[in-house]
Amino acid sequence: MASLDEHLEAALAKVEQAGRRRVLRPATLAPRGRIVRGGKTLLDFSSNDYLGLATHPLLTERAREWAARHGSGSGASRLVTGTSPDVLALEARIAAFKGTEAALVFASGWQANAAALPALLAMLPGAAVFCDRLNHASMHAGLASAGTRQHRFRHNDLAHLEELLATRGAEAPARVIVTESVFSMDGDLVDLPRLAALARAHDAVLYLDEAHATGVLGPRGAGLSATVPGGVDVIMGTFSKALGGFGAYIAGSRALIDWLVNAASGFVFSTALPPAVLGAIDAALDLVPGMSAERAHLSTLADRLRAGLDRLGLDHGGSASQIVPAVIGGEGETLALAAALEERDFLAAAIRPPTVPPGTSRLRLALRAAHSPDDIDALLEAIAACR
Ligand code: PMP
């Protein structure tokens, strides 16, 4: 009988043979759009710290203050011992920021999607669920654990969604549409006014992941959901990207949040977020609404990057945000380009299958407000030289 480690080595060897073995490399986020990795300071186009808040002194100071006041851990899940008044106040702030009745904090974006979707579907037995093909893995995980079959529509193809709603949704007792406002690997946006109208016309619940929109898009950085009259039924977002911290939220009606408190297992059975993390979120909420100059700067940088990629003949898909893919195609070619860029002190991580469809391996370029136009030009020059 082979030991567990022998099984594991054999499984890893298969991944290695397929050229897909991943390894963890030590790296530390640095200010000014940099990252320290392999002993070198690299110009970083791969982190999701869009607004530069992950190293902002107000966040680190508030995290320290809250930890000094309340300790390093929260002790239990919120339903068991009761909940900190600080987290209730924070949730009220998140709801006000998002323009919803209520909000609930989760331990991570992954956990929010993996916990909220099954909770929602437990209340809508037999619902037909419609998902964008490129939805994040955490939504697939949530739907898989709910045991729900997904009707997947072509990426951002709302005509296809409409067709599926009519053919697969009409007989179902309920319909749920699950999608993102900014797609994490493509940087394109959903047409939210049209999607919301479609949801209304087909009496469907709309579940929107705003992980990459929160802090960056919409009025005061409140995300795209804030631009839709009447709002979106269920909004998920993270504090781990533009908000420079960790954790996530679901925002919506009071009834939705009360239901999640009762039925979302990833909330019910998980320890409350620790004070330092909550403190950093609180400080980010002080700053984000006023960061419109940073948001405008990101948008200008993204235009500059896309124009430069056009000049190099590189496809950036439908990018319309701070995430700009440079689609290369083959896995080997993309990995080689990322490695050559790292030699020149740029971090531009290669993203390949299964994260993106085969043949569309890419450099996923994520802009940070600390980048300058010169940084973009230097990256473009380096890409040109390495190819
Ligand atoms: N949703 C989307 C669209 C994401 O890109 C991510 C992060 N990669 C998540 C959810 C998960 O968020 P977190 O990293 O906070 O767990």
pLDDT in tens, 361-375: 999 999 999 999 999
Give which of 366, 363, 351, 357 is closest to 387, Cα–Cα: 363
Catalytic hit among 212, 297, 316, 371: 212
In order of 181, 191, 212, 302, the CA distances from 188 in angstroms are: 8, 10, 11, 12
Closest atom, ligand 1, to C-alpha of 113: 10
- The CATH number assigned to the domain with range 23-51+292-386 reads 3.90.1150.10
The tokens 């998980």 sit on which residue?
Answer: 270
Among 48, 111, 138, 140, residue to substitute to test ligand 1 (most atoms within 8 Å of Cβ): 138
pLDDT grade for 38, boundaries at 50, 70 and 90: confident
Cα angle value 145/101/231 (rounded, 5°)? 75
In this prediction, residue 377 carries a pLDDT of: 98
Residue pair 199/75 in contact (Cβ under 8 Å)? The answer is no
209 among known catalytic residues: yes
pLDDT grade for 279, boundaries at 50, 70 and 90: very high
The pLDDT tens digits for 118-174 are 999 999 999 999 999 999 999 999 999 998 889 999 999 999 999 999 999 999 999
Q: Which residues in 151-160 are b (16+ Cβ under 10 Å) and which e?
A: bbbebbebeb
The pLDDT tens digits for 256-272 are 999 999 999 999 999 99
CA distance 212 to 48: 8
Cα(44) to centroid(ligand 1), Å: 19
CB atoms within 10 A of CB 110: 20
In this prediction, residue 122 carries a pLDDT of: 97
CA distance 341 to 346: 5
CA distance 308 to 98: 34
pLDDT grade for 387, boundaries at 50, 70 and 90: confident
292 among known catalytic residues: no
Predicted confidence (pLDDT) at residue 61 exceeds the cutoff of 90: yes
Strand order in the sheet with 27-30: 27-30, 34-37, 40-44, 346-347
CATH 3.90.1150.10 residue ranges in the chain? Answer: 23-51+292-386
Here the tokens at position 244 are 């420079």
Predicted confidence (pLDDT) at residue 20 exceeds the cutoff of 90: no
CA distance 280 to 351: 29
Here the tokens at position 189 are 């946006």
Closest atom, ligand 1, to C-alpha of 111: 16
Predicted confidence (pLDDT) at residue 345 exceeds the cutoff of 90: yes
pLDDT grade for 35, boundaries at 50, 70 and 90: very high
48 among known catalytic residues: yes
Q: What is the 3-state secondary structure (H, E, C) of 314-328?
A: CECCCCCCCEEEEEE
203 among known catalytic residues: no
Predicted confidence (pLDDT) at residue 19 exceeds the cutoff of 90: no
For the chain, give the mean pLDDT. Answer: 96
Predicted confidence (pLDDT) at residue 184 exceeds the cutoff of 90: yes
In this prediction, residue 7 carries a pLDDT of: 97
pLDDT over 70 for what percent of the chain?
100
List the residue whose alpha carbon is closest to atom 9 of ligand 1. Answer: 109
ipTM, two decimals, is 0.99
Fold adopted by 57-289: Aspartate Aminotransferase; domain 2 (3.40.640)
pLDDT grade for 1, boundaries at 50, 70 and 90: confident
Predicted confidence (pLDDT) at residue 319 exceeds the cutoff of 90: yes
Cα(4) to centroid(ligand 1), Å: 31
Closest atom, ligand 1, to C-alpha of 182: 3
212 among known catalytic residues: yes
Cα(32) to centroid(ligand 1), Å: 23
Catalytic hit among 184, 319, 321, 361: 184
Among 46, 184, 270, residue to substitute to test ligand 1 (most atoms within 8 Å of Cβ): 184
In this prediction, residue 354 carries a pLDDT of: 86
CATH 3.40.640.10 residue ranges in the chain? Answer: 57-289
151 among known catalytic residues: no
Separation of first and last alpha carbons in the chain: 49
- DSSP strand pairing (204-209 vs 128-132): unpaired
113 among known catalytic residues: no
Residue 279, CA atoms < 13 Å, CB-side half-sphere: 22
CA distance 278 to 89: 11
The tokens 């929260």 sit on which residue?
Answer: 74
Phi and psi (nearest 5°) for 212?
-100, 0
Cα(238) to centroid(ligand 1), Å: 7
In this prediction, residue 303 carries a pLDDT of: 98
Predicted confidence (pLDDT) at residue 31 exceeds the cutoff of 90: no
In this prediction, residue 148 carries a pLDDT of: 87
Predicted confidence (pLDDT) at residue 58 exceeds the cutoff of 90: yes
Show the ligand 1 pocket: residues with CB < 6 angstroms.
108-110, 113, 136, 138, 180, 184, 209, 211, 238, 240, 248
Could you tell me where the beta strands, DSSP code E, fall in 169-231?
A: 175-180, 204-209
**Residues in the chain, total:** 387
List the residue whose alpha carbon is closest to atom 12 of ligand 1. Answer: 109
pLDDT over 90 for what percent of the chain?
94
